[in-house]
A and B are shown apart, each in its own frame.
Chain A
Amino acid sequence: MAADTDTTTLENRSEIVFLYDAEDCNPNGNPLSANDKPRVDETTGQAVVTDVRLKRYVRDQLDDDELGIYIRNPSKAPYEDVPDRDGLFKRVTELEEDDVEDMSGSDAAEAFLNNAADVRYFGATCSFSSEFQDALGDDFPGQFIGPVQFEHGRSMHTVTTKTESKQLSTVVASEAGDEQGTFATDNRLQYALVKFHGVVNENAAQDTLLSAEDVERLDALLWRSLKNQTLTRSKMGHQPRLYLRAEYATDDYHHGGLDDGIERADADETDGAEYRNITDVTLAVDDLVAALAGDAEEGHLETLHVVVDDHITVSIDGATGGPEFLLKELEEAVGADRVNRVDVYA
């Protein structure tokens, strides 16, 4: 039978800013380009990473953490173990068709959501065979809209493609069973510091049963997923650098554009194409700190959940410092009791 997850209802909205970098790797390949070239905005020279890429890291981490996911990674699942759509439901819930027939559609949906963590976060479209659909009942929703939404991420600077791209020495077969393969070129960026922005909506959370516990899990999940799910050839070289989740007290409120408050301190002098690692970048966070201070003063901010990497440098009001400097400034801006320094490995 389906496991009942002990969940608490989500009451507060959150806004997330997440920075990670990619050194000497391909943060997100463009599937329409030859050899999966990194996605780059040709007008601005910025690298682009889709929300789908970020959510894949999170889904794979949820899978590794044995939380149960619906949309599994084809490259991680054995090819012969691809269930049909009904089977996907049965595998996630551990329910059989007979069990489902005895349940109402809403109970079946609850069992599904309790066992598919990724659907609680990001939603899913479900369609089944007509027999299975009949068993589920009319009140099983065909579509779950994700309460957690991330925008496509962008690098904070112009990126440089590695000039020493090489021909892969392995031979990649284009289809299973092919004896002859094709060569592939290895495309990488020298460096990209990518900024993501997201919102967790407490009202939409009711439809996917996303709990306060699930949202709390995000604080460590995003960080760990970037560390653990980037160990393949093209992704090796990723590092999470800064995570902020502003949890709001005011109903239906979020600041919006919180990510716009983080800029490069030297943006007026350089496009950043020469950046090669995190020590080359100083983040100007004045606008972010001011926005959070304003929200705290207005009573909108409940808690600021923060994870800061050891190697980042920030500037505030002309002064420059490391992680401890940033945390102290944030505590001063919103009140120390409102800042939660998250231990991602607790």
Chain B
Amino acid sequence: MSEPPMNEFDPSSRRCVSLTVSGDWAHFRRIDTTNDKQTYRVIPRTTVAGLLAAILGEPRDSYYDVFARDSSAVAIVPQRPLRTMQVPMLTLPTAGGDIQTAEGVSGKTVIPPEVLERERKRRAFEYLCDPAYRLHVVLDDDEWMDRLVDRLDADSETGPPSVRSVYTPSLGKTECLADITESSVGTVTGPESVSAVDSTLPEAKVTPLADVSYAMERTPAYMTQANGGRKTTGFVSYAYPTDGGQIETADVEAYSVNGDTVCFL
């Protein structure tokens, strides 16, 4: 399947807000699994959008245009090796085959209570342990950028930033509380040709090299509002370092911002 053009927004010479998000746990549910609740290793671009919207207190489904392909650029730099742990839990089945359709009952969860006890399933949730990501964000919407800089206290010149967030920031699931640190504002320079990047590297830009290893992943990148909910409109495949370090490649166009060499998504 061919990927649509990854990004149609030029971040060159733009103001960029950078922040580090970390936590004891994260869970970015892979959409291609059902019973096993596996996680992506790298925070998906759509989750970054949700996280920043939560900081600003934007309502659900209201912010997708701000993070669209032609109005935003996001680079994600994994800061640590990405390790996972299985945390199985008892859940009620709501996956397609488990849903029991009963007449006169609406909604998804239609399990009769008398079978509820019996039908409670043991599900393996996979969580990331101690993840940390550096995020670089450029938005066409100046008003959003101003508010992000303000909320993240990103231009603080007196000591560590005092981040203020309307809703509690989390890494995927709500119990995965996120800490936000080291926010700053910079200007994007480039592009220029480099041989190694700090961020995830889009698949289209990967040139395999001898003795260089990395992992690949494909996650939702863009979304839109549809039928009272949301719909993913684009995925992105990228390489990421398994050790939290750089990815070496051959001659890739990349940008510099706030001390990192990055490819934007």
A151 and B25: CB pair below 8 A?
yes
B31 contacts partner chain A, Cβ-Cβ < 8 Å = no
Closest to B116 in A: A82
A149 and B170: CB pair below 8 A?
yes
A74 contacts partner chain B, Cβ-Cβ < 8 Å = yes
Residues A44-81 near B (CB distance < 8 A): 44, 48, 50-52, 74, 79
Closest to B83 in A: A43
* Contact bitstring A220-244, B, C-beta under 8 A = 1, else 0: 0000000000000000000000000
A151 and B24: CB pair below 8 A?
yes
| Docked pose: A250 CA to B166 CA in angstroms | 12
Chain B's nearest CB lies how many Å from the CB of A130?
4
Which of B24, B90, B117, B124 has the most C-beta atoms of chain A within 10 angstroms of its own C-beta?
A: B24
B168 and A152: CB pair below 8 A?
no
Q: Which of B10-18, B137-145, B176-184 makes up part of the contact surface?
A: B176-184
Chain B's nearest CB lies how many Å from the CB of A42?
8
Contact size range, A = 35 or more
| Docked pose: A251 CA to B57 CA in angstroms | 13
Partner of B108, one of A33, A41, A127, A149: A127
Q: List chain B residues, Cβ under 8 A from A149.
A: 168, 170, 174-175, 177
A327 contacts partner chain B, Cβ-Cβ < 8 Å = no
Known: A152-B127, A199-B177, A253-B164. A129 touches B87 (CB 8 A): no
B88 and A30: CB pair below 8 A?
yes
Residues B111-132 near A (CB distance < 8 A): 112-114, 116-117, 122, 124, 127, 129
Q: List chain B residues, Cβ under 8 A from A251.
A: 164
Residues A21-46 near B (CB distance < 8 A): 30-33, 39, 41-44
Partner of A203, one of B104, B167, B178: B167
B87 and A48: CB pair below 8 A?
yes
B249 contacts partner chain A, Cβ-Cβ < 8 Å = no
B117 and A256: CB pair below 8 A?
no
* Contact bitstring B168-211, A, C-beta under 8 A = 1, else 0: 10100011111111000000000000000000000000000000
Closest to A146 in B: B174
By DSSP majority rule, is chain B's interface helix, strand, loop, or mixed? mixed
A82 and B106: CB pair below 8 A?
no
| Docked pose: A73 CA to B170 CA in angstroms | 27
Partner of B167, one of A204, A256, A300: A204
B162 contacts partner chain A, Cβ-Cβ < 8 Å = yes
| Docked pose: A203 CA to B88 CA in angstroms | 31
Known: A31-B90, A152-B175. A84 touches B112 (CB 8 A): yes
Partner of A31, one of B88, B104, B107, B127: B88
| Docked pose: A203 CA to B54 CA in angstroms | 11
Q: List chain A residues, Cβ under 8 A from B89.
A: 31, 50, 52
Q: List chain B residues, Cβ under 8 A from A42.
A: 85
Chain B's nearest CB lies how many Å from the CB of A44?
8
Closest to A48 in B: B87
B252 contacts partner chain A, Cβ-Cβ < 8 Å = no
A201 and B104: CB pair below 8 A?
no
A142 contacts partner chain B, Cβ-Cβ < 8 Å = yes
A321 contacts partner chain B, Cβ-Cβ < 8 Å = no
Chain B's nearest CB lies how many Å from the CB of A133?
5
Q: List chain A residues, Cβ under 8 A from B83.
A: 43
Q: List chain A residues, Cβ under 8 A from B168.
A: 149, 199, 201, 204, 254
Q: List chain B residues, Cβ under 8 A from A256.
A: 163, 177-181
Q: List chain B residues, Cβ under 8 A from A41.
A: 85, 129
Known: A32-B122, A133-B106. A250 touches B87 (CB 8 A): no
Q: List chain A residues, Cβ under 8 A from B114.
A: 82
Chain B's nearest CB lies how many Å from the CB of A60?
16
A127 and B107: CB pair below 8 A?
yes
| Docked pose: A30 CA to B170 CA in angstroms | 24
Known: A84-B113, A127-B110, A197-B24. A43 touches B85 (CB 8 A): yes
B24 and A129: CB pair below 8 A?
no
A298 and B180: CB pair below 8 A?
no
Residues A248-281 near B (CB distance < 8 A): 250-254, 256-257
Q: List chain A residues, Cβ under 8 A from B225.
A: none
B258 contacts partner chain A, Cβ-Cβ < 8 Å = no
B174 and A31: CB pair below 8 A?
no
A79 and B166: CB pair below 8 A?
no
Chain A's nearest CB lies how many Å from the CB of B216?
23
Q: List chain A residues, Cβ under 8 A from B85.
A: 41-43, 48
Counting from the closest, the 3 A-B pairs by CB-CB distance are: A127-B107, A32-B88, A252-B164
Complex A-B: 21 CB contacts under 8 Å: A31-B88, A31-B90, A33-B88, A82-B116, A84-B113, A127-B106, A127-B107, A127-B110, A129-B104, A131-B104, A142-B107, A146-B174, A150-B175, A151-B175, A151-B177, A152-B25, A152-B175, A203-B166, A204-B167, A252-B164, A252-B166
